[in-house]
Amino acid sequence: MSATLGLGALLPGAIRASTSGPQLLTARVSDVQLAPPDYPKTQIWGYDGKMPGTLIRVKQGDRVERRFVNDLPQASSVHWHGLRINNAMDGVAGLTQDAVQPGETFDYDFTAQDAGTYWYHAHNRSMEQVARGLYGALIVEEPEPVDVDREELLILDDWLLNPETAQLDTEFETPHDRSHAGRRGNYIATNGSSGTELPVKVSERLRLRLINAANARIFELDLSGFDGWVMAYDGMPLDEPEKVEGSFLLAPGQRMDLFVDVTAVAGEVAHLVRIDDDEGFSQAAFPVAPAENSARMRETPNPLPPNPNMSVPGVQTARRFELNMEGGAMGRLQSASLNGKEMSFRELVAANQFWSFNGVVGMTDTPLAQLSSGETARVSISNDTVFPHAMHLHGMHFREILDDGELGPLRDTLLVFGGETREIAFVAGEPGKWIFHCHMLAHTSSGMATWVNVT
Nearer to ligand C2O, 234 or 400 (CB): 234
Contacts (CB under 6 A) with ligand C2O, residues 224-253: 253
Single residue of 123, 132, 217, 397 touching ligand C2O by CB under 6 A: 123
Single residue of 394, 397, 411, 433 touching ligand C2O by CB under 6 A: 394
Helix (H, G, I), strand (E, B) or coil at 336: strand
Nearer to ligand C2O, 260 or 435 (CB): 435
CA-CA distances (angstroms) from residue 28 to 50, 76, 161, 179, 294? 9, 11, 19, 30, 48
79 near ligand C2O, rule: CB under 6 A: yes
Question: Distance between CA 399 and CA 311 in Å, rounded?
Answer: 9
> CB burial class (10 A; 0-12, 13-18, 19+) of residue 194?
middle
Backbone φ, ψ for residue 452 (5° rounding)? -120, 145
Contact 374, 314 (CB under 8 A): no
Shortest distance in whole angstroms from residue 209 CB to ligand C2O = 16
207 near ligand C2O, rule: CB under 6 A: no
Shortest distance in whole angstroms from residue 436 CB to ligand C2O = 9
CA-CA distances (angstroms) from residue 62 to 44, 59, 312? 31, 5, 25
Contact 144, 152 (CB under 8 A): no
Single residue of 122, 153, 435, 452 touching ligand C2O by CB under 6 A: 435
Backbone φ, ψ for residue 10 (5° rounding)? -80, -30
Question: Distance between CA 182 and CA 387 in Å, rounded?
Answer: 10
Size of the site for ligand C2O (CB under 6 A): 10
Single residue of 272, 438, 452, 454 touching Cu ion by CB under 5 A: 438
Single residue of 392, 397, 399, 422 touching ligand C2O by CB under 6 A: 392
443 near Cu ion, rule: CB under 5 A: yes
Nearer to ligand C2O, 125 or 437 (CB): 437
Binder of residue 443, out of Cu ion, ligand C2O, none (CB less than 5 to 8 A by kind): Cu ion
399 near ligand C2O, rule: CB under 6 A: no
Single residue of 81, 389, 422, 433 touching ligand C2O by CB under 6 A: 81
Question: Distance between CA 188 and CA 192 in Å, rounded?
Answer: 9
Question: Distance between CA 324 and CA 437 in Å, rounded?
Answer: 12
Task: Name the E strands within 48-92.
Answer: 53-59, 63-70, 78-81
Contacts (CB under 5 A) with Cu ion, residues 372-391: 389
Contact 61, 111 (CB under 8 A): yes
Shortest distance in whole angstroms from residue 53 CB to ligand C2O = 14
Contact 261, 298 (CB under 8 A): yes
440 near Cu ion, rule: CB under 5 A: yes
The interface region with ligand C2O, picked from 173-181, 269-277, 312-320, 432-440 by CB under 6 A, is: 432-440
Backbone φ, ψ for residue 432 (5° rounding)? 140, -175
Binder of residue 183, out of ligand C2O, Cu ion, none (CB less than 5 to 8 A by kind): none
**Positions that interact with Cu ion (CB under 5 A):** 389, 438, 440, 443
